[in-house]
Amino acid sequence: MERATTSLISTADFEGTVAALTREFEGIFGSETISRFVREALDRWPHATVTSHLPVLAHRFARERLRALGQAEGAIAQEHTEVLFVCVHNAGRSQMAAGLLAKHAKGRVNVRSAGSTPAEEISPAVVQAMEEVGVDLSKEYPKPLTDEFVRASDVVITMGCGDACPIYPGKRYEDWELDDPAGRTLEEIRPIRDELDRRIRVLIAELLADQLGSQHQVKEPTEPSGT
């Protein structure tokens, strides 16, 4: 058994996580691929001191990666535009942006977030600032940027992470210059949150307009030919 499965969670928890994901992705991914993704998810927290929550986190992160891989490979349908927010630690700006987009899009746009060098936890002040506007980040966690996340995305928005994000053709890339909320007080984070909110509303309007235009192109009847 791999080190990650024995030192961080029990064999029963590891096998249970793999079994649950194998059932969910039956016909898409085999158990070997799923086992590897779960091990890699556990390796995200190699120095965890409190391990009771690790099976849940490993399941969530492995599931997100598997869904993204399935979407990128065309095995899982993408019903809506996929947006990925990337910052350095995935503990502030990208989490705030993802939460705001999910709130305003109301299921019409899908969103993920990640960090080039993820922190151990989301900034408590960021969580508090988002609670003020009705966005709950208390159950979220910093995630590393993976190739699957980028490949599955239609829009990739970076915030202060330089060239860490791989470039794939056919995707919309933007870089948003915003102050990093790390180490800032609640009062200092609010303006960052509000600027993100403004940009997110503009982004959603653009994406929904694009979606509507695409639907009209697909559904538009052809003109009858003259006789």
The domain locations on the chain are 1-77, 79-217
Q: How many helices (H) and strands (E) does the chain have?
A: 8, 4
pLDDT at 211: 75
pLDDT at 6: 45
| DSSP state string for 159-205 | ES-TT-S---TT-EEEE------TT--HHHHHHHHHHHHHHHHHHHH
Q: What's the topology of domain 79-217?
A: Rossmann fold (3.40.50)
Radius of gyration of the chain (CA): 20
- Residues annotated as catalytic are 87, 161, 165
Q: Is the Cα torsion angle 103, 104, 110, 116 positive or negative in sign?
A: negative
pLDDT at 134: 97
Sheet with 109-115, strands from edge to edge, namely 109-115, 81-87, 155-159, 172-175
CA–CA gap between residue 7 and residue 94 (Å, rounded): 31
Instruction: Identify the three-state secondary structure at position 92.
Output: coil
Nearest Cα residue to 123 out of 179, 175, 178, 185: 185
Nearest Cα residue to 100 out of 6, 211, 194: 194
The CATH number of 1-77, from 1.10.8.1060, 1.10.1070.11, 1.10.730.10, 3.40.50.720, is 1.10.8.1060
Amino acid, single-letter form, for residue 156: V
Residues of the chain with pLDDT under 50: 1-6, 50, 218, 221-222, 224-227
Alpha helices in 73-161, H assignment, sequence order: 93-105, 124-131, 147-151
Instruction: Identify the three-state secondary structure at position 48.
Output: coil
